[in-house]
Amino acid sequence: MRTMSPAEYVRHVREREAESEGDALSSVRRIIEDVRANGDEALCRYSRSLDGVDLAPRDIEVTADEFEAAYRAVDGTTLEAIRTAIRSVEAYHTYAAGPAVRSLRAWFDGEVIDGTLMGRVSKPVRRAGLYVPGGRNPYVSTVVMTAVPARVAGVEEIIACTPPDKDGRVDPHILVAAREAGVHRLFRIGGAQAVAAMAWGTHSVPKADVVAGPGNRYVALAKRLVYGVVGIDSPAGPSEVAVIADDSADPGLISADMLAQVEHGPDSIAVLFSTSGRLMGEVSARLKQKEPRREAQMLSVLCRDLEEAVALANETAPEHLQIVVDEPLRAVAGVRCAGAILVGYYSPAAVGDYVAGPSHVLPTGGAARFASGLSVETFMTTSSLIWMGPNRYKKAADAAVTLAMVEGMPCHAESLMYRLQVGGSVGGEREAKG
């Protein structure tokens, strides 16, 4: 584990943010344009060249028979674990969505103020496209963490793409989790080409309104490039955790949590901010003994006090922020940006990855400064609604006319003044009464 001073760490963060995307960005852009132009033919070609899987267009979608076979292959204990995770995630998102879900169920969320009906109308998107990483491991939890919020939002159709194994098969655990969580259709396509397919649509893969889910660097770049054609959740690249810990923390616990995070892949990082040199030394020794080949992915910074540790965490805007200190709420109060804040001994990032409730699809690479984790709102659009009656209109229109003339918009002013001139002879409107 590499140790840095606070100043060195800030420089490190800035350098990481400035890393060039260069060739990767160009490659992703070419893939997206190819899939947009050539559809299924391009998808099958990239499956062969990038994933070593020989697919025909008819093979792209997973069949009903494959879903049925998957249920026979997954044991009862695993099936119950999947269902437990689904219940937990559904309960959290139903609670956390609050006004959005109320508006969905009641059609409208608002109130009458000064004779004007003001509020918001929230509706789910029609089709959500989910990306589920694959290849090395079956990321069952990602299916749950993306599909369940979409289902709670009321999305009409949920589709998903995931890379198959070398034989073209999708892991049965992924298929069972998809069926249990509410995915309607699943396609055995991975990488940037899968994002492009869901953004533009092909003969086999329908066009989505929102594309969400984590992935590698290429998937994250693809989501960024298709944003505007479709909505996306947030930039979600290599995983990361920052841990704030003081002298009261158990070094075994801290080292275990850091190792758990870098287990996600070679690009994942873990950083420890601590006011205790003793703790840092013990954590470093454990990491060196346990997993020396991953040391380069882990950093530590000695901080003069808790406030400096929190300030450095804010500079990082980490995907996961674990707080293991004597006064955790004091630390939480100072946190400005993090994908998920996990407090205390019994809230490690690992429990958040599976069953805590919030989605584990979170902004990475400092994006928590401006983006939030995947939620019900990811799959909803909100329209503002206003119904102004004549009395309120008369009070407001003069100011609106003045501003329209200042901006050189005489037709706006005429539209506004017409209603003042004709008075109650048009529309038959009355004041909103609630």
* 12-16, 245-249, 354-358: segment of lowest average pLDDT: 12-16
Rounded CA-CA distance 343/329 in Å is 8
pTM for the structure as a whole: 0.89
pLDDT of residue 99: 61
* Sheet of 157-161, strand order: 185-187, 157-161, 127-131, 210-212, 231-232
pLDDT of residue 17: 61
pLDDT of residue 165: 92
pLDDT of residue 119: 82
**Matching fold, domains 22-233 and 237-366:** yes
Rounded CA-CA distance 360/352 in Å is 6
pLDDT of residue 429: 56
Query: Quick one: fold of 22-233?
Result: Rossmann fold (3.40.50)
pLDDT of residue 365: 85
Over residues 137-149, the pLDDT tens digits come to 889 999 999 999 9
pLDDT of residue 24: 85
Rounded CA-CA distance 162/309 in Å is 38
Q: Which residue has the higher pLDDT, 176 or 262?
A: 176
* 233-247, 349-363, 412-426: segment of lowest average pLDDT: 412-426
pLDDT beyond 60 at 434: no
Rounded CA-CA distance 244/328 in Å is 9
**3-state secondary structure string, 210-239?**
EEECCCCHHHHHHHHHHECCEEECCCCCCC
Catalytic residue positions, numbered: 319-320
Query: Quick one: fold of 237-366?
Result: Rossmann fold (3.40.50)
Over residues 412-423, the pLDDT tens digits come to 999 999 988 876
Residues 154-170: what's their mean pLDDT? 95
Percent of the chain with pLDDT strictly greater than 70: 93
SS3 of residue 117 by DSSP: strand
Residues 235-250: what's their mean pLDDT? 90
Q: Are 301 and 9 in contact (CB under 8 A)?
A: yes
Residues 255-264: what's their mean pLDDT? 92
pLDDT of residue 19: 61
pLDDT band at 102 (very low <50, low <70, confident <90, very high): low
Phi then psi for 337, rounded to 5 degrees?
Answer: -150, 120
| Integer angstrom CA distances of residue 237 from 224, 278, 311, 352, 429 | 11, 33, 23, 17, 52
The per-residue pLDDT of the chain, averaged, comes to: 90
Domain boundaries, the chain: 22-233, 237-366, 389-425
* Sheet of 320-324, strand order: 2-4, 298-302, 269-274, 240-245, 320-324, 340-343
Rounded CA-CA distance 177/40 in Å is 26
pLDDT beyond 90 at 238: no
pLDDT of residue 426: 53
Q: Which residue has the higher pLDDT, 319 or 365?
A: 319
Side-chain half-sphere exposure of 325, counting CA atoms within 13 A? 23
Q: Residue ranges of the alpha helices (H) in 107-163?
A: 140-153
Q: Which residue has the higher pLDDT, 17 or 370?
A: 370
Over residues 19-59, the pLDDT tens digits come to 656 678 899 999 999 999 999 999 999 999 998 999 999 99
Q: Is the dihedral of CA 99, 105, 106, 107 positive or negative?
A: positive
Q: What tokens were used for 422? A: 């004709």
pLDDT of residue 40: 98
10 Å CB burial of residue 181 (0-12, 13-18, 19+) is buried
